Structure 1
Amino acid sequence: MQMILPIAALVMRSLALLCLACWSMSQPAAAADRERVVAFLEVTGFDVALDSIALSASSAPDMLGVDAGAFGSQWTRLAEDVFDTDRMRSLALDILENTLDDEALEHAAGFYASDLGKRLVRAENASHLVEDDEVKQLAGNRIISDLVKAGSKRVAMYQRMGNAIDAAGTGVRALQQIQFRFLMAASAAGVIEMDLDADELRALMKEQEGELRLSLQASSLAASAYTYQEFSDAEVQAYVEALEEEAMQRVYELLNAVQYEITANRFEELAHRMAELTPGQDI
């Protein structure tokens, strides 16, 4: 069975734009109440990032070597049900209500409520909802190429942004874990037959880790170039510096873990539910 990783770029889209890193599940001294967390999701744009997880569902059949078209509208209904945006937001709220402390919430909300923060969120939200990721990547790569030719400092800024995204270097392994859980769930549900057991699959993913890391770094640069092309150097610099602050890092660590867990959870559910599909019986 040939292993491919199309989900990586799709998940990276949200990862790159939200500048999220991994977190440890420690309980804060004072958790925020649900109403404030709802407002926090909106002001930071994380609500739209959660919604955009649904776009990654289109990669699922390719990962499994299954033709979604054979299931007709059954597939569309299933994907919409599993990746229901209200359900994903509710899952996020359940976690954040018990883990996001008031100090971190206020710090991040304060930045994103500023004039620059509001403009950044609008740009990021618009980029999240671009369904054709290939078009966005191509456009971003052209921008990066032009910046390199011009000797612009923007490329270095975007690289710093990438470092702020994944300071602990755990993003690649988290993405591989999402795919691992999806493939194992699909195998257990009888959707696919794998020639590899769990240990062999992990070993294969370990071999692919370096290549995936380079791919994600390139994807991150292109996504940033596309998303922030209307901002000045000074504005991008200010954003990078804000993302590097310790308080913001704590927020991004938490949000990223939430996003990873919800993505993995929904893909596992999708794998189990795909066993219900019947090829050739569209309604």
Structure 2
Amino acid sequence: MRRLIAAALVIVLALPAWAGARHTVLMDVMRISELSHILHDEGVIYGAALDDSWLEGQGGAAWAQQVARIYDVSRLSEGIRAGIEPALQGDALELAITFFASDLGQRIITLENSARRAMSDLAIEEQARKQYTARQGTEDSRLKQINRMIDAGDLINRNVTSALNSNYQFLRALVDADVYTMSDAEILEDVLAERAAIEADTANWLGAFLTLAYSPLTLEELTLYAEFGETEAGKSLNNGLFAGFDPLYEGISYALGQAMAMNMTAEEL
């Protein structure tokens, strides 16, 4: 079986109009629309990798169009909002808005989005990974603050779990389409066999990304951001983001599996 390359139903809860307006403000100051376009572009790149590894590069324009539709920008944005809204209320919501509306908060969003775009270039990603690896195991003060952020948000474990669940849904779709014959236990075994590799890769990519993104910040600014991540507001925001991303990407992965099954079946005809 080809190796998966690890990278929904959107339920909008009924909330008071005022709360909805404040969540819109948070979405705006965090520039979720901009992030959604970046995630769309990442999805297109991932789709091309799936084409190479599963369809031998023969997916063509039809596959590319299917992938682009699956990574619909509105779907991504609304999926993120669906997680944030119930997770952030009251004071936590207001503190998150205040932080990201500040000059520092806006600089952080700009740096994160720029780094995310940059790391779509494999050469830049490789260089960022090398630089991060060279700093591991040292007494680097900046790396300590980045590790605080990773620990506060349980970012490695949560990203690994998300990747495994997404891989499961991709295979589940192929099984449902009768491309493969596997039990749930066999799908799970196949997915979990790559856990160690995914965990190592996730830890390295995450450290490289954060190191690259925050390199222009002073140590004081980086410390302030790490401290925000340890507050109730910071943790609630992190919880909300994962609550949005997890079902969103599980749905996307299942849709990719369905599209892949259609293309693989067509190849056999």
Q: TM-score, normalised by structure 2?
A: 0.81
Matches of 2:150 and 2:218, distance apart in 1: 18
Post-superposition Cα deviations, 1:104-153, rounded to whole Å, max 9, x if no partner, equal 22111111111111100111122233362533422222332554598522
Q: Which runs of 5+ in 2 are unaligned?
A: none
Alignment partner of 1:59 is 2:46: yes
Contact 1:108 1:248 in 2 (8 A): yes
1:21 maps to: none
Please list, as runs of the form range in 1=range in 2, the aligned pairs for 1:185-264 lying within 5 A after superposition: 185-190=173-178, 192-193=179-180, 196-264=182-250
Asked whether the equivalents of residues 169 and 257 of structure 2 are also in contact (C-alpha less than 8 Å), the reply is: no
Post-superposition CA distance 1:165-215 (Å, at most 9, x none): 31794432222011101111133224x435x42202212333432332222
Aligned residues of 1:154 and 1:233 also touching (Cα < 8 A): yes
Tell me, yes or no, if structure 1 residue 82 matches structure 2 residue 70.
yes
Bigger drift between 63-72 and 32-41 goes to: 63-72
Assess, with a 3 A threshold, how the Cα gap between structure 1 residues 210 and 87 changes in structure 2: closer, same or farther: closer
1:162 corresponds in structure 2 to 150
> When the two structures are aligned, how many residues end up with a matched partner?
260
C-alpha distance in 1 between matches for 2:218 and 2:67 = 39
Equivalent-residue separation in structure 2 for 1:170 and 1:150 (angstroms): 25
2:58 paired residue number: 70
Q: SS in structure 1 opposite 2:243?
A: helix
Question: Match of 1:193, SS?
Answer: coil
Question: Aligned-pair distance for 1:258?
Answer: 0.2
Q: Which residue of 2 aligns with 1:171?
A: 159
Distance 1:247 1:149 in 2: 30
Task: Tell me by how many angstroms 1:232 deviates.
Answer: 1.5
> Secondary structure, in 3 states, of the residue corresponding to 2:118?
coil
How many angstroms does 1:79 deviate by? 1.4
Identity among equivalent pairs (%): 19
Matched, 1:273 2:259: yes
Distance 2:212 2:87 in 1: 32
Equivalence for 1:34? 20
Residue 110, structure 1, aligned to residue 67, structure 2: no
CA pair 245-28 structure 1, distance change in 2 beyond 3 A: farther
Provide the residue aligned with 1:125 in structure 2: 113
Q: Structure 2 counterpart of 1:142, which letter?
A: K
- Superposition RMSD in Å: 3.2
The superposition leaves residues 217-241 of structure 1 with CA deviations (integer Å, 9 ceiling, x where unpaired) of 1111111111111112221111111
Q: Give the equivalent residue in structure 2 for 1:20.
A: none
**Amino acid in structure 2 at the alignment position of 1:48:** E
Query: In structure 2, what residue type is equivalent to 1:208?
Result: E
Equivalent residue, structure 2, for 1:49: 35
Q: 1:126 to 1:168 in 2, by over 3 A?
A: closer
Residue range with higher mean Cα deviation, 245-254 or 52-61: 52-61
Q: 1:207 to 1:78 in 2, by over 3 A?
A: closer
CA–CA separation in structure 2 for the residues paired with 1:249 and 1:180: 27
Q: Tell me the TM-score normalized by structure 1.
A: 0.78
SS in 2 for 1:70: coil
